[in-house]
Amino acid sequence: MVLAQQANLQRDTPPLSVVVPVRNEAARLPALLAALHGAPELVAEVLVVDGGSRDASRTIAQLAGARLLRCSGGRGAQIALGVAAATGRWLLLLHGDAVLPRGWAAAVGRAMQREQGAWYFELAIADPHPGLRLVEQAVALRSRWRQLPYGDQGLLLPAALLERCGGVKPLPLMEDLELIQRLRTKTRLHSLGLGLQVDGRRWRRLGVWRTALENTRLRRAWRNGTNPEQLARAYYG
């Protein structure tokens, strides 16, 4: 009887914990939190993990009803802290500059009904430069054929699967690539079929092709054993 009641309670509880690492994302964070707040049947909790913001990010998170955590050491450490504090059966890892697409909740709900696998959004960069449409197409092909989506595409997966893979490593950079390389040995990664919009500020600042080349250089350096802290200094300047 008790076990049956616990099972019914689990089914009635929203299944999803959303972990959002942020640092100075006050301009885009409200839209993300509002979208998550609009799916109470799906989202049990939103954990915003602040990495030392100097803007209003922490205040925005608290006013939106998110659970606010604080962490230094880079995005990998932020995500790892949020995952450790999460209580949902499923996890959705999102960067703080993400804008969820229309229909995201229905797509996530359908994915979770399969009770297996991991899922990602397609990449959509918020900038009209035509070169970025080529970047988006290249990312889509890489994600599908090489099973290599990156963190700015979001990641949806069962909490138990992430635990079996060893969790998120507290790396200051490349935490997403390191996790995906472990994850794809355990399961298949599937597209949710919707574009997750991310801020195009770095692409605008450095230029499309220079940014693409710099990202490639950083990934190659990481695979060749360069210290992630050194890479983070190069990436964030």
Is the pLDDT confidence value at 114 over 90? no
> Which pLDDT belongs to residue 73?
81
Residues 101 and 157 sit within 8 Å (Cβ to Cβ): no
- What integer pLDDT is reported at residue 1 of this predicted model? 45
Q: Does 91 have pLDDT greater than 90? A: yes
Q: What stretch of H or E contains 43? A: strand 43-50
CA diameter of the chain: 62
Using pLDDT thresholds of 50, 70 and 90, give the confidence band for residue 12. low
Task: Identify the structural domains of the chain with CATH numbers, from first to last.
Answer: 2-201 (3.90.550.10)
Mean pLDDT for 51-61 is 96
Reply yes or no on whether the pLDDT at 236 is more than 80.
no
The pLDDT > 90 percentage for the chain reads: 74
Q: What is the mean pLDDT of the chain?
A: 91
DSSP structure string for 127-180: S--HHHHHHHHHHHHHHHHS----GGG-EEEEHHHHHHTT-----SS-HHHHHH
Q: Model confidence at 231, in pLDDT bands (50, 70, 90)?
A: confident
Q: What is the pLDDT of residues 138-196, one digit of tens each?
A: 999 999 999 999 999 999 999 999 999 999 999 988 999 999 999 999 999 999 999 99
Instruction: For residues 15-25, give the mean pLDDT.
Output: 97
Higher pLDDT, 68 or 216: 68
Neighbour count for residue 140 (Cβ, 10 Å)? 16
Beta bridge partners of 19: 47, 93
Residue 197 pLDDT exceeds 90? yes
Per-residue pLDDT at 40 exceeds 90 = yes
Phi/psi for 184 (5° steps) reads: -75, -10
Mean pLDDT confidence for 127-140? 93
Q: What is the rounded end-to-end Cα distance, in angstroms, of the chain?
A: 58
Global pTM reads: 0.91
Q: What is the pLDDT of residue 11?
A: 59
How far apart are the C-alpha atoms of 163 and 114, rounded to whole Å?
18
| Tokens coding 94 | 């999102």
Q: How far is CA 46 from CA 145, 211, 232, in A?
A: 31, 31, 26
